[in-house]
Amino acid sequence: MKRYASLAAGLLLLIVGSAAQAEDAQPFITNKDVDLTMILPPPPANDSAQTKAELGEVLTLQVTRTPEMAASAVADAEENVWRFADVMGPKFNKETLPKFSAFFDRVVATEGAVVDPAKDVWKRPRPHQLS
Q: Are 127 and 57 in contact (CB under 8 A)?
A: no
pLDDT averages per 10-residue partition of the chain, 131 residues: 51 48 80 97 96 95 96 89 93 96 96 97 92 81
pTM for the model stands at 0.70
Which secondary structure element, helix H or strand E, spans residue 17, and what is its range? helix 2-19
